[in-house]
Amino acid sequence: MSSLEIRVDPSSLGFDPERLERIQTHFDQYVTDRRLAGWLATVSRGGELAWTGKAGHRDRERGLEVTNDTIWRMYSMTKPVTSIAVMMLYEEGLFDLNDYAGKWIDELRNPRVYHSGPPVSPKTVPATEGVRIHHLLTHTSGLTYGFQNTHPVDAIYRTKGYEWGYPKGADLAQLVHDACTSPLVFEPGSAWNYSVATDVLGRLVEIWSGQSLDVFFQERILGPLGMNDTAFHCAEENLDRLAMLYIPGKDGAVRNEAWAEAAKHPPQVLSGGGGLVSTAHDYNRFLTMLLAGGELDGVRLVSSRTLELMTENHLPGDADLEHFATGLFAESDMAGIGFGLGFSVVTDRRANKSLTSEGSFAWGGAASTAFWVDPVEDLTVSFFTQLLPSSTYPIRRELQRLVYQALVD
């Protein structure tokens, strides 16, 4: 059962309880004016839940309220789980971060980079640098997403059937083939671009482990952490708990039943980049493990040293995304934010103009879910809702401000 029981006085954890309630007041207004159908947020310190709040409906039109055990589509909050899976296998000696992905993915043995021309007949040149494993983890590989609409290669992905879904009959291996036989947007390592790289990593997890991605996740991560409501689709017996998916409309959020259907059935593509559904309880188990340096309740997934490496900025020259990213899409504000091995990382909070501690790491999902982990303040925060796209409202910035103003120790 997905319990979100608060067992301690928030004051003992350094919070002003009255100031914490500003989170509730603020996001209640989102429901009142129909920008969101419903939401749930959690704030923990030292692994102890300090505050949780919720409002509205998981399915507004059916009158089903948000509950602690509501199941949410994680979309790109799947990526940190895949990145942890990758680094678990790294610790077992199965690859080096400097290894070329072409060692296992044939389509990346001789990558080519887009040079010019229309998507139907692009001119390409051989890449001078191969795609390395660390390029995939940091989104510096030159791969892209079809939905971005910022580069001719994005359009190539769309012509192959990859925008917000997949072509009929495709599986993960087919996705990797189709993406990796498309030109790269840039030379590997020369820029940052949000991409299907984490799906490629999911395929590599399958190759390295000899298990399908869903089996690896269940046996090595989800099961051991007690994340019993997390999977690549919502089980039939839990469908009543699955939140509806919404998009912005003229008078607030409107349901999108067509896209909502995908989470109700076993997927054709096991997407390490965006495929999981989960609950607040389950995902907070994962976050608490990250805060604790890779271990929770006697279950260690990675060493603390590995997690430290993952949550440092790996962009060349210690650059931030404002200066190193291409395109327009990112689940992060750009200034003062670097990128590690699967997480965005705060490198300069003054440049970011936020209260978030330097060294905090984070990511979010397309349906406006978000989390961050702040090792300096011993803090984890998560937010769950189901509004596409995540760029609709500045929820993450607002939540950061509201959480830190409540810390008074």
Residue 187 forms part of a structural domain: yes
Question: Has residue 88 been placed in a domain?
Answer: no
Contacts of 25 (CB under 8 A, 6+ apart): none
Residue of 172 and 165 predicted with greater confidence: 172
Residues 238 and 306 in one domain: yes
Percent of the chain having pLDDT more than 70?
98
Residues 141, 230, single domain; the answer is: no
pLDDT-derived band at 3 (thresholds 50, 70, 90) equals confident
Residues 69-124 have pLDDT tens digits of 999 999 999 999 999 999 999 999 999 999 999 999 999 999 999 999 999 999 99
Based on the domain organization, do 217 and 149 belong to the same domain? Answer: no
128 and 204 fall within a common domain: yes
C-alpha 14/C-alpha 3 separation (Å) is: 23
Tens of pLDDT, residue by residue over 392-403, are: 999 999 999 999
Q: Is residue 174 part of a domain?
A: yes
pLDDT tier at 333, thresholds 50, 70, 90 = confident
| Among candidate residues 157, 187, 209, the one where a domain is terminated | 209
Q: Which uninterrupted H or E stretch holds 107? A: none
pLDDT digits (tens, 9 = 90+) for 346-382: 999 999 999 999 999 999 999 999 999 999 999 999 9
Is 3 inside a domain boundary?
no
> Do 74 and 99 fall within a single domain?
no
Last residue of a domain, one of 154, 181, 209: 209
1 pLDDT more than 60: no
- How far apart are the C-alpha atoms of 11 and 13, rounded to whole Å? 5
Alpha-carbon distance of 188 to 338, in angstroms, equals: 17
| Contacts (Cβ under 8 Å, ≥6 apart) of 305 | none
C-alpha 357 chain-centroid distance? 20
Q: What percent of the chain has pLDDT over 90?
A: 95
- Domain boundary at 209, 238, 272, which? 209
CATH code of the domain containing 305: 3.40.710.10
Number of domains in the chain: 2
Residues in the chain: 409
Whether residues 42 and 64 fall in one domain: yes
Q: What is the mean pLDDT of residues 220-241?
A: 98
Residue 409 lies in a domain: no
Q: Are residues 231 and 345 in the same domain?
A: yes
Helix ranges (H only) for 311-372 are 321-324, 349-352
Q: Which of 53, 67, 57 is nearest to 24 (CA)?
A: 53
Note the pLDDT of residue 210.
98
Q: Would you say residue 90 lies in a domain?
A: no
Both 200 and 233 in one domain: the answer is no
The alpha carbon of 65 is separated from its chain's Cα centroid by a whole number of angstroms, namely: 25
Closest by CA position to 346, among listed 283, 395, 397 = 397
In this structure, are 217 and 76 located in the same domain? yes
CATH of the domain at 163: 1.20.58
How far the first Cα of the chain sits from its last, in Å, is 33
pTM beyond 0.85:
yes
Q: What is the DSSP letter of 332?
A: S
Residue-number span of the structural domain to which 161 is assigned: 95-209
Interacting residues of 82 by C-beta distance below 8 A, sequence separation 6+: 198, 201, 202, 205, 213, 272, 273, 342
219 and 202 in a common domain: no
The model's confidence at residue 331, banded by pLDDT at 50, 70 and 90, is: low
Residue 52 lies in a domain: yes
Q: Is residue 313 in a domain?
A: yes
Residues 187 and 71 in one domain: no
103 and 171 assigned to the same domain:
yes
